[in-house]
Homo-oligomer: A and B are copies of this chain.
């Protein structure tokens, strides 16, 4: 197996090839998908929407009410979540009900919340 080639060296011992060669990064596409996914959680409004439907389905009107947001704002954010396939939705008459598509989401949020709460103690 060929050793990786690097373009820039700042000193004799540095960079530390032995350490660097052991690093296992997700590939470019995976990094892209990961950061795209985290972007979804990286906004107050979207995060509140996501948390709202962690355990129940809600219609757009419910979200506007619960979160005190413009209907337009909610719909725009839901569109983003739909495009990312993070949520599913169903129509029932005039209302459209949104819910989460995946249980990983709940796990990610709860782990992150644990992180936050631990920080608070310090």
List A residues at the B interface (Cβ < 8 Å). Answer: 6-11, 14-16, 19-20, 22-23, 25-26, 30-35, 37-39, 41-44, 47-48, 51-52, 55-56, 58-59, 61-62, 64-66, 68, 85, 94-95, 102, 104-105, 107-109, 111-116, 118-119
Asked if residues A65 and B104 are in contact (CB atoms below 8 Å), the reply is no
**Given A7-B68, A15-B61, A20-B58: A113 and B38 interface contact (C-beta under 8 Å):** no
Asked if residues A107 and B111 are in contact (CB atoms below 8 Å), the reply is yes
Asked if residues A58 and B19 are in contact (CB atoms below 8 Å), the reply is yes
Copies held by the complex: 2
Asked if residues B8 and A65 are in contact (CB atoms below 8 Å), the reply is yes
Asked if residues A116 and B35 are in contact (CB atoms below 8 Å), the reply is no
A30 neighbours in B (Cβ, 8 Å)? 113, 116
Asked if residues B34 and A113 are in contact (CB atoms below 8 Å), the reply is yes
